[in-house]
Structure 1
Amino acid sequence: MEQNQVIDEINYYKAQAITELLYARGMITFDEYDKLTDLNRQTFSPMYADLLPKSLEKSPNQS
């Protein structure tokens, strides 16, 4: 794995952790969470993106 790939992986997981925190605290909606997750994958291209689920199977009412 090249250095740029490692940096992208790290940045993806950081961005996704922030996205999950925002959703867990009720600061963003589930739809916004879903859009940010897609954007994180497009921006950072994690190595195993194809293996990750497209979206979480959480109901919008879950916090």
Structure 2
Amino acid sequence: MEQQKVIDEIEYFKAQKLTDQLYENGLLSFVEYDKLTELNRRSFSPLFADLLPKVLDKSLKKR
């Protein structure tokens, strides 16, 4: 794997982890969370983006 791909994977992981934390703390609505997740995937092009679910199931999770 080339160096830029590794960097993209790390940056995607960090961005998505932050997105998860914002949602879990009630600072993002589910719609905002879903849009930001899609933006993270487009911005960082994670290696297995095609395998990730298109819609996330966080809306059913209790806060």
* TM-score for both structures, normalised by structure 2: 0.92
Q: CA RMSD in A?
A: 1.4
Instruction: Report sequence identity in percent.
Output: 60
Q: Could you list the runs of 4 or more consecutive aligned residues of structure 1 that deviate by over 6 angstroms after TM superposition? A: none
Aligned residues: 63
Q: Answer 1 or 2: which has greater helix percent.
A: 2
* TM-score for both structures, normalised by structure 1: 0.92
Gaps of 5+ in 2: none
Gaps of 5+ in 1: none
TM-superposed CA distance for 1:60, in Å, is 6.3
